[in-house]
Structure formats: structure tokens, C-alpha cells
Amino acid sequence: MAKLLKGIAPALITPFRAEGEGVDVDVVDQLVKFHLDAGVHGFYLCGNTGEGFNASVQERKDMTAAVMAAMERYGKKIPVIVMVAALDINDAIALAKHAESVGADAISSGTALTIMSFFNGKQKGLLSLTRCPATLSMTL
């Protein structure tokens, strides 16, 4: 397997609209352009820095789609890894499938210990969060 990343791959913040819910896609576009112009080699989306555990499934999908669209708009494709961990395995699967459908290169699901620290050690479905859906063709 070829090496996916080299160099600098920042964990992007997820900018939310000032009025409340929803991702501010205009700011996402500016963030992507800034980092592409700076010469980064990849992006990590929706992890701790990107408020992944605090954002809704739709907000996480919107962030991923906005980053991929911005890269296309600026004519530069660099590797993108999307964190898809969620307490509900169905949400994690939906996020993984969405990441794949918009062209992300890989997903990250986090570890049970990391997930437990965000959700106060709730056990329901914890083990299933570390399993990958077999239908994905992307790198984990």
C-alpha cells in the first residue's frame, strides 16, 4: 500500500454559523484556501480540533463535503482523513459511507479509550465502534 500522508496535515477546525447550528461553508472555503496556499499536504477533519464529537451527523457531513468542494474549486486534491467515530454505530457507518462518497481518502474511528473519555465511559455499543463496515473500499 502506498504511503497516504507525508508532510503537514492540519486538523481543521469546524467553523459554525454565528447564529447557531450549521457549518459556515464560506469560512470552510477560506480555511481550505489558506492552507492550500500555505502548502499543506493533507487534512484531518471532524476530530477533536474539528468538534467532531460535538457536531451533529449532518454538520460533520457538511464539513467534509465543504472541504472536498473547496479543494475541487481551487484545483488541488490532497489526502483527506475524516474521523467518523460516534456513539451510535449507525451514525459512524453513515459518516464513513458519506466520506467515501465525497472522495475522502481515509477514515479514522478513534479508540475505545478516546471515545469513552468524551462520553463519560458509556458502554452501549462501544466495542462496535472499533469495527469497520466491510462495505467500505477506503483506507482505515
- For residue 58, the SS3 value is helix
| Residue 114 binned pLDDT confidence (cut-offs 50, 70, 90) | low
Where does 1-140 have alpha helices with state H? 25-38, 57-73, 89-101, 112-118
What is the distance between the alpha carbons of residues 74 and 22, in angstroms, rounded to a whole number? Answer: 23
pTM: 0.80
pLDDT band at 48 (very low <50, low <70, confident <90, very high): confident
- How far is CA 122 from each of CA 56, 95, 126, rounded to the nearest angstrom? 18, 21, 7
Question: In this predicted model, what pLDDT tens digit does every residue of 62-75 receive, in sequence order?
Answer: 999 999 999 999 99
Share of the chain above pLDDT 70, in %: 75
Look over the chain and give the mean of its residue pLDDT values, rounded to a whole number: 83
